[in-house]
Chain A
Amino acid sequence: DAGVIQSPRHEVTEMGQEVTLRCKPISGHDYLFWYRQTMMRGLELLIYFNNNVPIDDSGMPEDRFSAKMPNASFSTLKIQPSEPRDSAVYFCASSRGQDAGTQYFGPGTRLLVL
């Protein structure tokens, strides 16, 4: 299995631009999580899905952030418009419910907003 796949691996954009991050979970996993990691705030859960349905989005910082999961093998996290304070590493993780929640992380997308 290829593990969780994320793209792009690095993204540099200018303030005000739209940013779309992509994730492909491990096949057969029914939970998908989006995290943001910064030095100041550590690893924060933004949103998670179960069977493609958003379950908890209380971690999404504001309306500029949105996430979708149109099918079991693909999810996107969109920031529009982006701001410098959105600069961080964004991780996607997936898990299989019957494994009691063990999460496997993707390689992350390093986002820099200038």
Chain B
Amino acid sequence: GENVEQHPSTLSVQEGDSAVIKCTYSDSASNYFPWYKQELGKRPQLIIDIRSNVGEKKDQRIAVTLNKTAKHFSLHITETQPEDSAVYFCASRAGSYQLTFGKGTKLSVIP
């Protein structure tokens, strides 16, 4: 089955700096790649997603890039703010409707 590797597991950045989280997947049939943000004690919430026919997608301070040849995708957060502190999960979906999640990255934005 699909395997998703996510790095780094923890990331600390100064407020205003950029943060990058990277994921690799194993199933070349994967065609949908969402990113979820989970604040402490809360549910995972979708923040951005990308489909396999698109190389990059942006939404204000967040962007996701996809390299299908290398089977990796990344989340970029610019001008980080303390409220960006959370655990971020990448995921991928192949033929079925189930998602395979990475292990998560704990992002800390230091004021």
A contact set with B: CB distance below 8 Å: 31, 33, 42-43, 45, 48, 50, 55-56, 91, 95, 97, 100-108
Query: Known contacts being A43-B101, A55-B96, A56-B96, is A105 close to B45, with CB within 8 Å?
Result: yes
Interface residue range, chain B: 20 to 34
Once the chains bind, are B43 and A106 in contact (CB under 8 Å)?
yes
Query: Known contacts being A42-B104, A50-B97, A55-B96, is A101 close to B32, with CB within 8 Å?
Result: yes
Once the chains bind, are B97 and A105 in contact (CB under 8 Å)?
no
Query: Known contacts being A43-B89, A100-B51, A104-B46, is A48 close to B101, with CB within 8 Å?
Result: no
Beyond A101-B93, A104-B46, 10 additional pairs, beta carbon < 8 A:
A33-B98, A42-B103, A43-B44, A48-B97, A91-B44, A100-B51, A102-B34, A102-B46, A103-B99, A105-B45
Q: Which residues of A contact B49 (CB under 8 A)?
A: 102
Once the chains bind, are B99 and A101 in contact (CB under 8 Å)?
yes
Instruction: Point out the residue from A45, A100, A102, A106 that lies within 8 Å of B98, measured CB to CB.
Output: A45
Query: Known contacts being A42-B103, A100-B32, is A91 close to B43, with CB within 8 Å?
Result: yes
